[in-house]
Structure 1
Amino acid sequence: MTEYPTGVAERLDALVVRVLAPNPSPYTYTGTQTYLVGTDDLAVVDPGPDDAEHLKALTAAIAGRPVCAILCTHTHRDHSPAAAPLAAATGAPIIGCAPLTMRDAGPRADAAFDADYRPDRVLADGETVSGEGWTIEAVATPGHTSNHLCFGVRENGALFTGDHVMGWSTTVVAPPDGDMTAYMKSLERLMTRADTVFYPAHGPAIDRPQRLVRGMIGHRRQRERQILRLLEEGVGYIPEMRARMYVGLDSRLEGAAERSVLAHLIDLQGRGIVAGNEGDWRLAA
């Protein structure tokens, strides 16, 4: 068995089972991880791509038990498309994030939006869904996308973090929908919580979550300082900034890195620190 076996139901704790979808890529790492919560009746978190092999694996893991809810953290196509066929097969409602579709022709480092996502119920921040032995609370965490939710399990201290916090890489924040200001506030919110483990959609479980989040905040502040130093040197063209900031980056990720730089610049502009536009940024007077 490999470290990340595709399609195998892996028990992570008394309430949580993980099933890895067969969609590895430079952007999804080993693939999208779908989680089953519960023992007698279940919630399915981030059903993943509409892939026949993955749906077969989920059906086997569900093993005929009732499904109370299919929960989606956000509507990128590696997370939510399997919700509809799984709902049809199980009769479960699709619950969680609001629908969101954006036209976005820019370079992405993640899947585009799922235009077919149709939730039966949208969860507001703090709302819950429950089953036998488990209660899941929605935690609004905009930033990666404006509709992103995390899901906290009250009984075991777990937080399903979707793409807000990943176990292998920093999260993509790509304008126009990705918002660095909102993302940083969402990270700071997680620092105030008492979650004991994060289960991300990509990468391994995180058993010291507050330490990781603190490091992620520090990493973003370091990127911000790099940008300000470059602007002080008169470098205000995003591709040149990216080349200076991301030395040795895989060429397939260059466009996404430039979107991240743009997200930081928009945040700094909103705080009155920089001025300009995509082609020519500078320090504010």
Structure 2
Amino acid sequence: MAGPPPKPWPTGLVERPEPLVRRVLAPNPSPYTYTGTQTYIVGEGEAVAVIDPGPDDQAHIDAIVEAVGAAKIAAIMCTHTHRDHSPAARPLAERTGAPIVGCAPLVLDDSGPRADASFDRDYAPDRVMEDGEAMTGPGWTLRAVHTPGHTSNHLCFALEESGALFTGDHVMGWSTSVVVPPDGDMGAYMKSLERLYERGDRVYYPAHGAPVEKPRQLVRGMIGHRRQRENQILRLLGETRQSAADMVPRMYKGLDPRLTGAAEMSVTAHLLDLERRGLVGRSGDLWQTL
């Protein structure tokens, strides 16, 4: 994971990466959220969409409303229901009357290391978007792209007028996505990466970090990186039976101690995928090649 840029960060300020897109940074930086969650406002004129409203933070909600101005919010759209993405949807909807649309709700427990990423149990969409379904407004079209893996309900949203893709946590330029079982699934994540690689999107706007200007190049590198991790696990298990925790120090040199839990869950996600493919087996916490 890359370190954040020097402060000051543009928390609460409106930035415009392209004519149809504005973004507002939430005040929730962490080792897992980089400088914070970026909420995107899509569209101009009388109606806009808000993507990933972020945490239930009054200052951030105020900043979103101020950025929208006199326009109507046609939809509050959530890529997934981790607590740094969707909790502001409900208070923003109550304040503006806008419907909540996008990903399906989840009520699973999150056994991962991210205190900021347990699931939002209060998320209740007015409409769940299916893969390929579109939300439209004056001069903009956002089409849902089903990308499970980081979470089983993860969606990206493609802005058809400009070729931009809002990628939530599925693809980020500053870090690989954390895949935390049982809901996070490495096999599904890899298939979703391959799906994005086959697309022709011009730019990615992730929920954390800078825009991705060369998306296919980055996705190709991410797929290669995950395959390298997989091969590394198989080599280590070829030496002796090991637990996921045993492998982390050898696989992640110089790792920030705050990220050890995330690394262990990533290794576990790889192991579960390899197990489904019949390449490894386990006895208790110890894994071995087959």
- Residue 149 (str. 1) matches residue 155 (str. 2): yes
Where 1:12 maps in the other structure, the secondary structure is strand
Where 2:23 maps in the other structure, the secondary structure is strand
- Residue 70 (str. 1) matches residue 70 (str. 2): no
Corresponding position of 2:207? 201
Distance in 2 of aligned mates of 1:55 and 1:235:
50
- Residue 218 (str. 1) matches residue 224 (str. 2): yes
Deviation at 1:277, TM superposition (A): 4.8
Distance in 2 of aligned mates of 1:90 and 1:67:
7
CA contact under 8 A between 1:69 and 1:92: conserved in structure 2?
Answer: yes
C-alpha distance after superposition, 1:145-203 (max 9, x if no partner): 00000000100000000000012100000101000000000000001111000000000
Gap runs ≥5 in structure 1: none
One-letter amino acid of the counterpart of residue 103, structure 2: C
> RMSD in angstroms over aligned alpha carbons?
1.3
Deviation at 1:89, TM superposition (A): 1.4
Where 1:211 maps in the other structure, the secondary structure is helix
Q: Using structure 1 for the length normalisation, give the TM-score.
A: 0.97
Distance in 2 of aligned mates of 1:152 and 1:277:
43
Distance in 2 of aligned mates of 1:138 and 1:45:
12
Distance in 1 of aligned mates of 2:279 and 2:99:
46
Distance in 2 of aligned mates of 1:221 and 1:31:
29
Where 1:242 maps in the other structure, the secondary structure is helix
C-alpha distance after superposition, 1:65-113 (max 9, x if no partner): 1110000000000000000111111111000000002123442375110
Aligned to 1:6, which of 3, 8, 11? 11
Corresponding position of 1:86? 92
Corresponding position of 1:180? 186
Q: Using structure 2 for the length normalisation, give the TM-score.
A: 0.95
One-letter amino acid of the counterpart of residue 251, structure 2: M
CA contact under 8 A between 1:108 and 1:174: conserved in structure 2?
Answer: no
Where 1:64 maps in the other structure, the secondary structure is coil
After the TM superposition, which residues 8-23 of structure 1 pair with which residues of structure 2 at under 5 Å, given as runs?
Answer: 8-23=13-28
Question: Structure 1 70/235 Cα, relative in aligned 2: closer, same or farther at 3 Å?
Answer: same
Aligned to 1:282, which of 275, 279, 288? 288
CA contact under 8 A between 1:110 and 1:172: conserved in structure 2?
Answer: no
- Residue 171 (str. 1) matches residue 174 (str. 2): no
CA contact under 8 A between 1:195 and 1:209: conserved in structure 2?
Answer: yes
Aligned to 1:246, which of 237, 252, 269? 252
Distance in 1 of aligned mates of 2:174 and 2:59:
24
One-letter amino acid of the counterpart of residue 170, structure 2: H
- Residue 24 (str. 1) matches residue 32 (str. 2): no
- Residue 266 (str. 1) matches residue 272 (str. 2): yes
Distance in 2 of aligned mates of 1:42 and 1:253:
37
C-alpha distance after superposition, 1:109-129 (max 9, x if no partner): 751100000100000000000
Q: Percent identity?
A: 65
Where 2:18 maps in the other structure, the secondary structure is coil
Deviation at 1:261, TM superposition (A): 0.3
Distance in 2 of aligned mates of 1:194 and 1:267:
28
Runs of 4+ in 1 over 6 A off after TM superposition: none
CA contact under 8 A between 2:172 and 2:206: conserved in structure 1?
Answer: yes
